[in-house]
Structure 1
């Protein structure tokens, strides 16, 4: 009862992953390793691009922006989850919960837009190669990256404000490992028809519009690639898009499952597993996908490692 003051909840309880106590240290170790590897991989990508002049291109600047986003993506959720495993302290304040929710939604919205921007970059490179350096100049590239962040955080601010203004009167138990939209909405004790409708509309805008843009762009890319007369040229063109397309498929498949629903989601454990895929595992595998599929990045990493060994 100390967690509820009057009719207003001041502290939430995150259920997380209820397992046998002996499994808690194992889960803590697994998620800690994933977190460290994710941070390390994305920092390596950013530093590799920064210190290799050959990678000072729009595609790699956007890749750095995505890596920077992925670092915060895991940082906003995983440390709190690790603390829950280690101390069994599952409490989070109302303000802390709303802050976590806003930052996480902002990063998710930003990634939706950023993936569309990265698709646009590949489209210009393949469909308009002679005008690529003119269109995707440094200034325009920075504007696209910054615009993605501004748009993502702006849409998320509207979504978070609608949720923040709801009345929560108990229970205060969130069946999730962090404060996400659906688990928090399940705890509101007022009519949420308007909030749910607005949340669904905004989710469709920030998810479906970039997705439609990406699909249209890849149709244009496919049309252009099929007109290339030789197989070597076609294969080279497809290889420049393969890593981005893989990330798009993984991200949108899981995101649409979780967020593209016009009502509160039932708090089933499967939602947690899907959320783990795009909020924890995707930031881990994205740098690997880009590095394994990109010869320029591989070469730059190889040279950096060689110099490090020499010195």
Structure 2
């Protein structure tokens, strides 16, 4: 990040606070119950995503290109909730509102990188479904481990570079007034708005990344499903259409869970109370990592079969030990 500062000249001095004050949940009635809920959500998320990752790793039948993206989504969900939830609970439950400057930027980096990768990973899964339904005869050629890994790695490179750039631009800002962040974590938008010098680069980049990471993936996914729907109509029998559509239900559920809460919050942001907005955005951050593994275990036949096989194997091992 020092490269951003050196590029501007050695004589420029930035006023950096020793810490930021994160006050998002302060003043919300009965919020202690919400922290208990967050703890429960975190435990379920860790268990669920670890289970999905373990199933894919242990079962050779799941080592296909599609499940490279599923594995990555579980990893991102696990990393994201681990970066966010324990810190949020520590901040508000134990009154550690003062977050050191560098720690806040690090917190921001991990949270936004994982949130970005969740959206981009849904595009990778959408590509898998699009090829499977529209070009079934070419699926083995167009959806390979190499292609899927290339897509996932390019998304990681973009997300890390974009968030590092955003965090780097924040180090150009001076904070000579308030250091109170009105959010539940070190939110990029809330931080640059506190600056007392020109924050235009951060403003432009922040809005650009919202378009690229939120709206562009959503448009790509919706456009893909328009094409998928057009292909499904051409299938001769209703049974085959339903069978093909069922392969998309897990992905569509993930898309709805991730995008709908964010879109509702953005659309109704003018009429929503600030406390309700903070609760809604925090739920939008922690609920998808909990439901994603549950959806894949319940709606994906391969993972359901692998899960049943794992349970049967464990049961047999326990019976051998006991008898």
**TM-score, normalized by the shorter chain, greater than 0.5:** yes
Aligned to 2:76: 69
**Shift, 1:65, TM fit:** 0.3
- The 1:7/1:116 distance shift into structure 2, 3 A limit, reads closer
Aligned to 1:307: 313
Correspondent of 2:111 among 98, 104, 111: 104
Counterparts in 2 of 1:288-299, with a 5 A limit? 288-299=294-305
Q: Deviations over 1:128-160 (max 9, x none)?
A: 111111111121121112112111112222222
Unaligned 5+ runs, structure 2: 1-13, 318-323
**Shift, 1:20, TM fit:** 8.1
The size of the alignment, in residue pairs, is 304
Asked if the contact 2:23–2:97 (Cα under 8 Å) also holds between the matched residues in 1, the reply is yes
Secondary structure at the residue paired with 1:179?
A: coil
Provide the rounded CA distance (Å) in 1 between the counterparts of 2:206 and 2:273.
18
Aligned to 1:40: 47
Stretch deviating more after TM superposition (160-169 or 301-310): 160-169
Aligned to 1:127: 134
Aligned to 2:198: 191
Aligned to 2:58: 51
Provide the rounded CA distance (Å) in 2 between the counterparts of 1:62 and 1:252.
18
Is 1:169 aligned with 2:179? no
Aligned to 2:17: 9
**Shift, 1:193, TM fit:** 3.3
Unaligned 5+ runs, structure 1: 1-5
- The 1:248/1:9 distance shift into structure 2, 3 A limit, reads same
CA RMSD of aligned residues (A): 2.7
Secondary structure at the residue paired with 1:9?
A: coil
Secondary structure at the residue paired with 1:42?
A: helix
- The 1:94/1:267 distance shift into structure 2, 3 A limit, reads farther
Provide the rounded CA distance (Å) in 2 between the counterparts of 1:294 and 1:180.
35
Stretch deviating more after TM superposition (135-144 or 91-100): 135-144
Secondary structure at the residue paired with 1:8?
A: coil
Correspondent of 1:158 among 140, 165, 175: 165
**Shift, 1:255, TM fit:** 3.6
Asked if the contact 1:109–1:152 (Cα under 8 Å) also holds between the matched residues in 2, the reply is yes
**Shift, 1:256, TM fit:** 4.4
Secondary structure at the residue paired with 2:174?
A: coil
Asked if the contact 2:184–2:282 (Cα under 8 Å) also holds between the matched residues in 1, the reply is no
Is 1:146 aligned with 2:150? no
Asked if the contact 2:17–2:101 (Cα under 8 Å) also holds between the matched residues in 1, the reply is yes
**Shift, 1:55, TM fit:** 1.5
Stretch deviating more after TM superposition (148-157 or 63-72): 148-157
**Shift, 1:248, TM fit:** 1.2
**TM-score, with structure 2 as normaliser:** 0.86
Asked if the contact 1:109–1:155 (Cα under 8 Å) also holds between the matched residues in 2, the reply is no
- The 1:237/1:182 distance shift into structure 2, 3 A limit, reads same
- The 1:201/1:256 distance shift into structure 2, 3 A limit, reads farther
Is 1:207 aligned with 2:214? yes
Stretch deviating more after TM superposition (74-83 or 105-114): 105-114
**Shift, 1:117, TM fit:** 1.2
Secondary structure at the residue paired with 2:21?
A: strand
Asked if the contact 1:109–1:153 (Cα under 8 Å) also holds between the matched residues in 2, the reply is no
Asked if the contact 1:116–1:213 (Cα under 8 Å) also holds between the matched residues in 2, the reply is yes
